[in-house]
Amino acid sequence: MQNITHNYQAILNKIRLAEKKYHRAPNSVLCLAVSKTFATEALHPIIAIGQHEFAENYLQEALPKISALSGKNLVWHFIGHIQTNKCKEIAYNFSWVHTIFREKEANQLSMHRPQDLAPLQVCIQIKLDDSASSKNGLLPHEALPLAKHISQLPNLKLRGLMAIPPINTDFQQQRQYFKLIRNIGHQLSEAGIELDTYSMGMTHDLEAAIAEGATIVRVGQGIFGARA
């Protein structure tokens, strides 16, 4: 547990230093703690020191944690593959969904979002290559039609773009991937779609993502340790 606190503070430091180094506004990058595979107890130490935003990939794993921590005023983000038959529960239990890339799931999420909750905050997932390992997401030129569609849905609020680039250890190459995502965002802006969120960067590439404009970095292992 002490490790988790220590790791978390080191990640926050890294984020704040990267903001400075790349001339980003102070505190403009949100650290989203990715708690998948870790038990509820692992979240307590960082909740105690101010972490409010958590992300999960699997609905069935997330629900017990969300319920156990319901008194803590946390904000839950869904960052996994969206199964159509899970849209209702996702729409009930999460504040954000980062991984929309088809109209079908967007429609379902909007339809099931409870009226007494704020609109579901959503990002469109972009993929940067067409390999089998990155089957989720839209190719860059496919983003605009879905963005326009989501903008018409009553209970979704389109906030931005999300991406998981191919693994690469070269810093400059990492930056190139994130720059492509930013460019897609600029193109959408020019087409009249307003975006304020770039959900990009994980433990191994968060600095490159911040250099290229990330507003949310999704950090799992860097905080909680290696996953089994």
Q: How far is the CB of 79 from ligand PLP (least distance, A)?
A: 4
Category of 31 on φ-ψ map: left (φ > 0), alpha (ψ -120 to 50) or beta: beta
How crowded is the C-beta side of 67, counted as CA atoms within 13 Å?
Answer: 7
Nearer to ligand PLP, 32 or 143 (CB): 32
Q: Which residues ranging from 101 to 140 are in contact with ligand PLP (CB under 6 A)?
A: none
Q: Is 17 helix (H, G, I), strand (E, B) or coil?
A: helix
The tokens of 132 are what? 């089998």
Q: How far is the CB of 193 from ligand PLP (least distance, A)?
A: 22
Which one of 16, 19, 36, 95 is in contact with ligand PLP (CB under 6 A)? 36
Binding of ligand PLP at residue 219 (CB under 6 A)?
yes
Residue type, 39: A
Sole window of 15-23, 84-92, 135-143, 220-228 interacting with ligand PLP (rule: CB under 6 A):
220-228
Binding of ligand PLP at residue 164 (CB under 6 A)?
yes
Q: What distances in angstroms separate CA 102 from CA 45, 105, 125, 137, 176, one per listed residue? A: 37, 6, 9, 8, 26
- CB closest to ligand PLP, residue no: 220
Binding of ligand PLP at residue 222 (CB under 6 A)?
yes
Which one of 19, 30, 53, 57 is in contact with ligand PLP (CB under 6 A)? 57
Site string for ligand PLP, 71-100 (x = CB under 6 A): --------x---------------------
Q: What is the largest CA-CA distance in the chain?
A: 48
As beta bridge partners, residue 216 has: 30, 199
Structure letter (DSSP) for residue 121: E
Are 61 and 16 in contact by the 8 Å Cβ rule? The answer is: no
* H or E segment to which residue 124 belongs: strand 120-126
Are 144 and 187 in contact by the 8 Å Cβ rule? The answer is: yes
Q: How far is the CB of 116 from ligand PLP (least distance, A)?
A: 29
Binding of ligand PLP at residue 62 (CB under 6 A)?
no
Give me the residues that bind ligand PLP (CB under 6 A), please: 34, 36, 57, 79, 164, 202-203, 218-222
